[in-house]
Amino acid sequence: MAGSAEGSVTIAFDGAEHSGSWVLGQDGRLTVTHPVLGRRRAAVLNSAPEDLAAPLLLDIVRQAGFPVVSEDRRGKIYADGAAYTTGLAFLGVWAYAAWDHGWLGLLLGWLPAFLIAGVSGFVWPVAAPVLILLLGWRLFS
């Protein structure tokens, strides 16, 4: 080969985006480097460097067993917690309204339950412990 060339490559793996760089040496070998994992793989070039760099980077990431908690996973944890907190807060507030106010609470208690549950679901990392403390205080006082 007459000279060397270099470039970058980006792949998506397990919900995360990985970027690396590739260098085509004068001997015709392609070296791909992942900046975080620090591993390199070299191959004899049979095709364009851009076509071979992505599979080599994917190989680096797979072999490293790169544990990733991606944004999608954090979003799922938040959504699951919000759903459970919203449902439990709704049922708890409505049951409390029915217990404390009788038939009127049973008929109209869904309205404050809906409002409180909506707010609780939105801020569930703070609301969940508060709801547990309120429930414990109400049951054991």
- pLDDT tens-digit readout, 10-52: 777 666 777 777 777 776 677 777 776 665 666 665 666 666 6
Residues 79 and 128 grouped into a single domain:
yes
Residues 82 and 53 grouped into a single domain:
no
Q: Tens digit of pLDDT for each residue in 61-116? A: 666 665 545 556 667 788 888 898 899 889 989 999 999 999 999 999 999 999 99
Residues 36 and 96 grouped into a single domain:
no
Contact 117, 131 (CB under 8 A): no
- Residues of the domain holding 10: 5-64
Report the chain's terminal Cα–Cα distance, integer Å.
83
Residues 135 and 106 grouped into a single domain:
yes
Q: What is the pTM of this model?
A: 0.45
Nearest to 84 by CA among 109, 110, 133, 120: 120
Residues 48 and 91 grouped into a single domain:
no
Q: Could you say which of 43, 64, 85 is where a domain stops? A: 64
Q: What total of structural domains would you count in the chain?
A: 2
Count Cβ atoms below 10 Å from residue 133 Cβ, excluding itself: 10
